[in-house]
Amino acid sequence: MKKILTLAIVGLLSVSLVGCGTTNTSSSTGSPKDSGAAKGNIRIGVVSSMTGSAALDGELEANGAKMAAEEINAAGGINGRKLELVIEDSQTTNPGTVAAFQKVAGENVVAIVGPIFSTNVKALMPYTDKYKIPVAIGGTDPTITSDANPWIFRFRPSDTISTQVMAKFLQDQYKAKKVAIFNATDAFGEGGRKGLEAAFKTLGIESKAFEFTSHAGDYTAQLVNIKQFQPDAICTYIPYVEDCGIFLNQAKQMGITIPIVGSPSLVTANSVELAKKNAEGIYGVTDYFPEQNDTAKTYFKNYKTKYGKDPDIYSSYSYDAVQVIAKVIAKNGDTPQNIQQGLKKFSGWTGAEGEYDFSSNSPSAGDGLHSYSVVTIKDAKQQFVKVVTVK
C-alpha cells in the first residue's frame, strides 16, 4: 500500500511553509531562492521493501528517509517549502520493484530513493531513461554504476571497495592463505564473489566459492563442503538478514570456528539479533558505524530516541540520500534535470555514511563514497576496528 507522508514542521516557521496538501512541484528552472514560497511541496519518492522477505530492512530504509525529511522540514524546509515523501512497497521482488518505481515516478516526484538490493536496482534500471528522474540507490554491485546510467547515484560504497578491504583484513589480521567464499547467486552475491576472487588473487590467496540461493532456509550442504575445503577463513556475501542469521546459527552448530568476515548485512543489528550468541566474534565491513564521524554519532542518537532501536546501513544511506538531494535542490532547483546535474558536482559533505564526493566520477553517474569501517561483534554489539579508504 502506498503511503504519502506529509512531513510538516510543528509550530515553527508556519508563515514560510505551504499547506499540507499534495500540490505538484513546479518544473520551473528559475532561481530556487526566488520561487520557493509560491510553490507546493517538493515530493521525493521512496521505493522500499515494506513487505516480503526483506520487510525488516525496508522498515529501516523508510525510517531513515522519514527522519531526514522531518529534520529538513523542522529547519524550515527547502527554501521555505515542505518536503514530502511518497513511499511505495517493492514487496522485495524484481517485478514489485519495477511496479513500485513506475508508480511512484508518476506521482510528480523530483527524485527517488531506493531500493537497497542490487538485484532490485538492476531490475528498474532499464526504465530510468523513460522517466528521467534521479535515483539514489543503496545496491553495492559495482556494475550498477560502471554501466554509466546517467540517472543512478549510489549512496553507499561499492563492492569494489568492500572486497578489497575484506581480503586485505584477512591477510593482515590472520595471515590467511586459503579462503572460502559463501555468496548468493543474485547480482549482489555474484558481484561480491567476483570482487573477492580478484582481490584474493592479487594478494596470492587461494579461494573457492560456495554459492547458495537466497531464502533457501538450509545451508548445511554448503557448510559441509566448506569444511571439506579446510579454509583459514570464510567471506560471506549474503543479501538478506534472515539468511545471515541462519548461516551463522548453522555454522556454529557444525562446529565451524574459523574467522568469518562478511559484507555489511552480516553485522547489522537484525542479523545479530537473529544469530544471538552465534554472531559473537564475527567480523564485517560496514558503511555505517556510529563512531566513524560526528554526523553518524548524532544520527545514531536521534534515530534510537525516535524509533527505540539501533539504526544501521539500511537507514543511514536513505537518510543521507534525502539530505543530499535537499541540499542539491536548495542550490540548483527542483527539476529532475537540475537535481541530476547538481548531484554530479556534489562533494564535501559528511553524512552518516561518510564524506560524499560524486564529482570525481564519470560524467554519467557514479559512486559517492569510498571507504568502509571494519567492525567485530562483541556482546551482541558492533565494536569498531578501523576505517579503510580505497580510491
- CA distances in angstroms from 286 to 111, 152, 161, 289, listed in the order given: 26, 22, 11, 7
Domains of the chain: 3-157+292-359 (3.40.50.2300), 159-286+373-389 (3.40.50.2300)
Q: How confident is the model at residue 148 (pLDDT cuts 50, 70, 90)?
A: confident
Higher pLDDT, 47 or 22: 47
Tens digit of pLDDT for each residue in 96-115? 999 999 999 999 999 999 99
Q: Which helix (H) or strand (E) holds 3?
A: strand 3-6
Q: How confident is the model at residue 389 (pLDDT cuts 50, 70, 90)?
A: confident
Taking a C-beta distance cutoff of 8 angstroms, is the pair 323, 351 a contact? Answer: yes
For the cut 50, the answer to whether the pLDDT of residue 57 exceeds it is: yes
Taking a C-beta distance cutoff of 8 angstroms, is the pair 213, 241 a contact? Answer: no
Average pLDDT in the 77-90 region?
Answer: 98
State the DSSP string of 218-249.
--HHHHHHHHHH--SEEEEE--SHHHHHHHHH
For the cut 50, the answer to whether the pLDDT of residue 168 exceeds it is: yes
Mean pLDDT for all residues in the chain = 89
Q: How confident is the model at residue 174 (pLDDT cuts 50, 70, 90)?
A: very high
For the cut 70, the answer to whether the pLDDT of residue 242 exceeds it is: yes
Cis-peptide into 115, omega within 30 deg = yes
Half-sphere exposure of 136 (CA within 13 A, CB side): 34
For the cut 60, the answer to whether the pLDDT of residue 89 exceeds it is: yes
Rg of the chain's alpha carbons, rounded to an integer? 21
Burial grade of 177 (CB within 10 A; 0-12, 13-18, 19 or more): middle
Average pLDDT in the 35-39 region?
Answer: 45
Tens digit of pLDDT for each residue in 343-376? 999 999 999 999 999 987 654 458 999 888 899 9
Q: Can you point out the beta strands (E) in 241-370?
A: 260-262, 283-286, 347-350, 355-357, 366-367
pLDDT of residue 16: 29
Q: Can you point out the beta strands (E) in 189-300?
A: 206-212, 233-237, 260-262, 283-286
Range in 3-7, 66-70, 134-138 the model is least confident about: 3-7
Higher pLDDT, 160 or 25: 160
pLDDT of residue 5: 46
Phi-psi region of 388 (alpha: psi -120 to 50; beta: other; left: phi over 0): beta
Average pLDDT in the 234-263 region?
Answer: 97
Count helices and strands (H / E) in the chain. Answer: 14, 16
Determine the Cα–Cα distance for residues 113 and 264; give it in Å rounded to an integer: 19
Taking a C-beta distance cutoff of 8 angstroms, is the pair 372, 157 a contact? Answer: yes
Average pLDDT in the 146-161 region?
Answer: 89
- pLDDT-above-70 percentage for the chain: 89
Tens digit of pLDDT for each residue in 255-311? 999 999 999 999 998 999 999 999 999 999 999 989 889 999 999 999 999 999 999
For the cut 70, the answer to whether the pLDDT of residue 23 exceeds it is: no
Average pLDDT in the 191-220 region?
Answer: 96
Average pLDDT in the 231-248 region?
Answer: 97
Residues in a beta bridge with 349: 356
pLDDT of residue 237: 97
Strands 83-89 and 3-6: antiparallel
- pLDDT-above-90 percentage for the chain: 79
